[in-house]
Amino acid sequence: MSQNKIGSVLIVGAGIAGIQAALDLAESGYLVHLVEESSAIGGTMPMLDKTFPTNDCSMCILSPKLVECGRHLNIRTYTNSQVVKSEGEAGNFKVTIKQKARYIDLEKCTGCGACAEACPVKVDDEFNQGLGKRKAAFKQYSQAFPNAYGIDEKNCLYQTRGKAKGKDICLKCVKACQAGAIDHQMEDKEFEVEVGSMILNPGFKVFDASSLDYYGYGTIKSVITSLEFERLLSASGPFDGHLVRPFDQKEPQKIAWIQCVGSRNAKINHNYCSGVCCMYAIKEAVIAKEHSHIPVDTTIFYMDMRTPGKDFEKYYNNAKNNQGVNFIRSRVYEVTEAKDDSGDAVIRYSTEDGQICTDQFDLVVLSVGLEPGDSSKDLANMLDLKVNKYGFAELQPLSGVNTSKDGVFAAGAFSGPRDIPETVMQASAAAGAASALLSDERGTLVSEKEYPPELDVAGDVIRTGVFICHCGVNIGSVVNVPSVVEYAKTLPTVAYATDKIYACSQDAQASIKALISEQKLNRIVVSSCSPRTHEPLFQETLKEAGLNAHLFDMANIRDQCSWVHMHEPEKATEKAKDLTKLAIVRASMQQPVQPIFMAMNHAALVIGGGVAGMTSALSLADQGYEVHLVEKDKVLGGVARRFSTGFRGEDMKAFVADLIDQVSNHPNIKLHVGVGIKDVGGFLGSFTTTLENGEQIAHGVALLTIGGQEYKPHEYLYGQDQRIMTQIEMDEALYNHDSKVENAKNFVFIQCVGSRCDENPYCSRTCCTKSVKLALKVKKKNPKANIFVLYRDMRTYGYFEEDYEEARRIGIIFVRYSENAKPVVNKEGDTLVVTVTDHVLDRPLEIEADVICLAAAIKAPEDGRKLSKWFKIPLNADGFFLEAHMKLRPVDFSTDGVFMAGIAHSPKNMEEVITQAKAAAGRAGVALSKDQVESAGLNAFVNKRKCTACGTCEAVCSAKAVTVDLVNRVAVVNDALCKGCGACASSCRCGAISLRGCTNEQIVEMLNFL
831-890 binders of another protein (CB under 8 A) = 884-885
Closer to another protein at the Cβ: 28 or 939? 939
Q: Is the dihedral of CA 394, 399, 402, 405 positive or negative?
A: negative
Q: How far is the CB of 408 from another protein (least distance, A)?
A: 34
CA distances from 236 to 128, 230, 819, 929 (A): 9, 10, 41, 39
Q: Identify whether the C-beta of residue 761 lies closer than 8 Å to the C-beta of residue 789.
A: no
Q: For the CB of residue 302, give the shortest distance to another protein in the complex, in Å.
A: 26
- For residues 572 to 611, the per-residue mask of contacts with another protein, x marking binding by CB under 8 A and - elsewhere, is x-xx--xx--x-----------------------------
DSSP one-letter string for 581-594: HHHHHHHHT-----
Shortest Å distance, C-beta 165 to another protein: 35
Q: Least Å distance between CB 1003 and another protein?
A: 6
SS (H, E, C) 825-868: EEEECCEEEEEEEECCCCEEEEEEECEEEEEECEECCCCHHHHH
Look at residues 417, 393, 443 and name the one whose alpha carbon lies nearest to residue 12: 393
Q: Which positions from 95 through 154 interact with another protein, judged by CB under 8 A?
A: 113, 142-143
Q: Which of 514, 566, 599, 840 binds another protein (CB under 8 A)?
A: 566
Q: Which of 56/626 has CB closer to another protein?
A: 56
- Does 381 bind another protein (CB under 8 A)? Our answer is no
List 28, 376, 556, 786, residue binding another protein (CB under 8 A): 556
Convert 859-894 into a string of H (helix), E (strand) and C (coil): ECCCCHHHHHHHHCCCECCCCCECCCECCCECCECC
Q: Which of 241, 397, 592, 674 binds another protein (CB under 8 A)?
A: 241
Which of 57, 338 has the CB closer to another protein? 57
Out of 894, 909, 916, 929, point to the residue binding another protein (CB under 8 A).
894
Q: Work out which of 101, 473, 757, 1003 binds another protein, going by CB under 8 A.
A: 1003
Question: Is residue 421 at the binding interface for another protein, with CB under 8 A as the rule?
Answer: no
Window contacting another protein (CB under 8 A); options: 256-264, 551-559, 752-760, 926-934: 551-559
633 vs 1005, beta carbon nearer another protein: 1005
Taking the complex as a whole, the smallest distance from the CB of residue 378 to another protein amounts, in Å, to 32
Which of 288, 794 has the CB closer to another protein?
Answer: 288
Selected binder of another protein within 350, 591, 693, 958 (CB under 8 A) = 958
Quote the least distance from Cβ 565 to another protein, whole Å.
4
Q: What is the closest distance, in whole angstroms, from the C-beta atom of residue 224 to another protein in the complex?
A: 20
| Contacts to another protein from residues 519-548, by CB under 8 A | 530-533
- Angle at the Cα of 716 from the Cα atoms of 819 and 861, rounded to 5 degrees: 80
Residue 564 interacts with another protein (CB under 8 A): yes or no: yes
Give the nearer residue to another protein in terms of CB position, either 847 or 886: 886
Q: How far is the CB of 966 from another protein (least distance, A)?
A: 6
Please count the helices (runs of H) and the strands (runs of E) in the chain.
25, 51
Q: What angle (nearest 5°) sits at the alpha carbon of residue 446, between those of residues 441 and 452?
A: 140
- Contact between 477 and another protein by CB under 8 A: the answer reads no
Residue 945 lies near another protein (rule: CB under 8 A): yes
Closest to another protein by CB, 272 or 683:
683
Restricting to residues 965-984, name those near another protein by CB under 8 A.
Answer: 966, 969, 979-983
- Residue among 342, 720, 951, 968 that touches another protein (CB under 8 A): 951
Is residue 251 close enough to count as binding another protein by CB under 8 A? no
Tell me how far, at minimum, the Cβ of 1008 lies from another protein, in Å: 6
- Binding-site size for another protein (CB under 8 A) equals 84
Q: Which residues of 436-469 are buried (b: 16+ CB within 10 A; e: fewer)?
A: bbbbebbeebbeeeeeeebbebeeeebbbbbbbb
Q: How many residues does the chain have?
A: 1010
- Give the Å distances, CA to CA, from 796 to 183, 240, 304, 748, 802: 53, 37, 10, 18, 8
CB 420 to another protein: min, Å:
15
Q: Does 60 bind another protein (CB under 8 A)?
A: yes
C-alpha to C-alpha distances, 437 to 2, 7, 428, 620, nearest whole angstrom? 11, 10, 14, 11
Only one of the segments 198-206, 451-459, 732-740, 990-998 lies at the binding site for another protein (rule: CB under 8 A); that segment is 990-998
Q: What angle do CA 736, 737, 743 make, to 5 degrees?
A: 150
Angle at 937 between CA 934 and CA 938, to 5 degrees: 140
Nearest distance from C-beta of residue 315 to another protein, angstroms: 13
CB of 18 vs another protein, minimal distance in Å: 21
CA distance 153 to 92: 35
Query: How far apart (Å, rounded) are the C-alpha atoms in residues 646 and 669?
Result: 26
Query: Given the complex with another protein, which of 355 and 1008 has the nearer CB atom?
Result: 1008
> Least distance from C-beta 143 to another protein, angstroms?
7
DSSP assignments along 106-169, one per residue: TTT-----HHHHH---EEE-TTTTTSSEEESEE-SSTT-SS---EE-TTT-HIIIIITTTT---
- Closer CB to another protein, residue 256 or residue 491? 491
Selected range binding another protein among 327-335, 503-511, 653-661, 957-965, rule: CB under 8 A:
957-965
Which residues on neighbouring strands pair with residue 261, listed in sequence order? 368
93, β-bridge pairs: 88, 195
The distance in angstroms from the start CA to the end CA of the chain is: 65
Least Å distance, CB 530 to another protein, is 5
155/894 with CB nearer another protein:
894
Q: Does the footprint of another protein cover residue 321 (CB under 8 A)?
A: no
User: 383-409: b or e for each residue (b if 16 or more CB lie within 10 Å)?
Assistant: bebebeeeebbbbebbbbbbbbbebbb
CB atoms within 10 A of CB 357: 11
Helices (H), 241-296: 277-291
- Which is nearer to another protein, 672 or 960 (by Cβ)? 960
Binding of another protein at residue 756 (CB under 8 A)? Answer: no
Footprint of another protein on 198-237 (CB under 8 A):
234-236
Shortest Å distance, C-beta 561 to another protein: 7
In three-state secondary structure terms, 738 is coil
Q: Give the C-alpha separation, 410 to 379, whole Å.
A: 12
Question: Should residue 989 be labelled a site residue for another protein when binding is judged by CB under 8 A?
Answer: yes
Q: Which of residues 914-943 bind another protein (CB under 8 A)?
A: 938
Site for another protein in 9-38 (CB under 8 A): none
**DSSP per-residue codes, 441-481:** GTTSS------PPPP--TTPPP-EEEEEE-TTTTTTTTS-H
Q: Are 795 and 907 in contact (CB under 8 A)?
A: no
Residue 314 found at the interface with another protein (CB under 8 A): no
Report, in Å, the least distance between residue 615 CB and another protein. Answer: 28
User: Toward another protein, which CB reaches closer, 592 or 980?
Assistant: 980
Cis peptide leading into residue 452 (ω within 30°):
no
Burial class (CB in 10 A: 0-12, 13-18, 19+), 864: buried
Q: Give the integer Cα–Cα distance in Å for 715 and 468.
A: 74
φ, ψ at 99 (rounded to 5°) = -110, 120
Nearest residue (CB) to another protein, 640 versus 886: 886
